Structure 1
Amino acid sequence: MFWLFLKPGCGKCLPSCAETDCLEITSIRDTRNGKYAKTPKNSVLREAIENITGSGMEKDTVTVVTGPDLVNLVFLNFTCLVADTAQEWTNELFILSTNLLAQNASRKTFLLKAYTKLTLQLTAEEKISVKHIYKMFPADKKRVETALSNCGAGLPCGRNDSIPLTNFSPEVFLTFIQNLCPRTDTDSIFAEW
């Protein structure tokens, strides 16, 4: 619901990537299909895709337009094996990306979104890499290290370490966030009500 992601090693035409790529669905500006889809200009890549899907790849292609503003746009292409699947993905991604409730969600929802991203980027051993936690909070690495060590679950805090998913539950993640960003003023208000 929060992320459009591509796992390492998936896709028949693309070289496998080292890490999971995640795109936040609310950052999608537009989705296109059919004659409005942007197909690859590179003839070698286009031929490789058409060998799998058949000719006329426009109807099978989903183009996702994303970017920080309306000038610096990035076009991502996904090719489906069936044209109906591409049309359905185009429609549903557009509905999800333009949902105002998802863009103006509560703090708890945004924390769940951050936790979901961490769980999508698991290592080969099905563990959360501490490196991804440092990337998520790049401002002060010492505070991140201190917050991890103060979670009480004996979490490793070295950059090359990894945390088993069972040890880093959503509750432990919330404890980590409270240690990282203490908000005693608002916590006392919510505790009263």
Structure 2
Amino acid sequence: MTKSYEFNWQRTVPAFLQEGASFDRFDEDPFVFEPSCVFKVDEFGFFITWKSDGKEGQVLECSLINSIRVGTVPKDPKILSTLEAAGKTEAELEGRIICVCSGTDLVNLSFLYMVADTADTAKKWLEGLRAVIHNFRANNVCPMTGLKKHWIRLCYSTNVNGKIPVRG
């Protein structure tokens, strides 16, 4: 007799990640700053999404994330002055920045920086996101779950009007 095997690919995504939280977001190269982005993780842990007022929804696939780290205070004066203009002084930034490192390989990396309102929020999200990423079993799901994953990506990639964009 063969032993039955149950393939359980899904990890529990904490409720606070699904509900979302507001972070300021910046990229270093090219410099982009978006205040008050609402970050969320979908119920299956496939994607991290964020959206700010007047901008299209953005999606980052969790399987492409290499690491999630505590970010350091930026050295670039342009970034610091923008954060200070948003009400976050350099002294307050310690322990409030999350750095999401992602890419298809270890050469072409992208860095996404999330700035939390409090150090407690940053720590909670850092630990929550670390628990969700590196789910290699999620890459081997059945075709129907794969279709659901693509549908979730489309739903989060909405344009400014909240509609799914039609590219053609």
Q: Give the TM-score range, shorter chain.
A: 0.5 to 0.7
- Residue matched to 1:81: 117
- Residue matched to 2:101: 65
Q: CA shift at 1:60, angstroms?
A: 0.2
- 1:77 maps to a residue whose letter is Y
State the SS of the aligned residue for 2:104. coil
Output the TM-score relative to the length of structure 2: 0.63
Higher strand content, 1 or 2:
2
Residue of 133, 139, 146 corresponding to 1:110: 146
State the SS of the aligned residue for 2:127. helix
Higher helix content, 1 or 2:
1
Q: CA shift at 1:52, angstroms?
A: 2.2
- 1:53 maps to a residue whose letter is K
- Residue matched to 1:2: 46
Taking a change above 3 Å as real, the CA distance of residues 103 and 38 of structure 1, as seen in their structure-2 partners, is farther
State the SS of the aligned residue for 1:32. strand
- Residue matched to 1:24: 61
Count of residue pairs brought into register by the alignment: 122
- Residue matched to 1:49: 83
- Residue matched to 2:39: none
Farther off after superposition, 108-117 or 76-85: 108-117
- 1:52 maps to a residue whose letter is G
- Could you tell me how far apart the structure 1 residues matched to 2:74 and 2:140 are? 34
**Contact 2:57–2:159 (Cα < 8 Å) also in 1:** no
Q: CA shift at 1:103, angstroms?
A: 3.0
Q: Percent identity?
A: 30
Give the structure with higher Rg (CA): 1
Q: Which runs of 5+ in 2 are unaligned?
A: 1-44
Taking a change above 3 Å as real, the CA distance of residues 58 and 72 of structure 1, as seen in their structure-2 partners, is farther
Higher RCO (Cα < 8 Å, 6 or more apart):
2
Q: CA shift at 1:59, angstroms?
A: 0.4
- Could you tell me how far apart the structure 2 residues matched to 1:125 and 1:79 are? 26
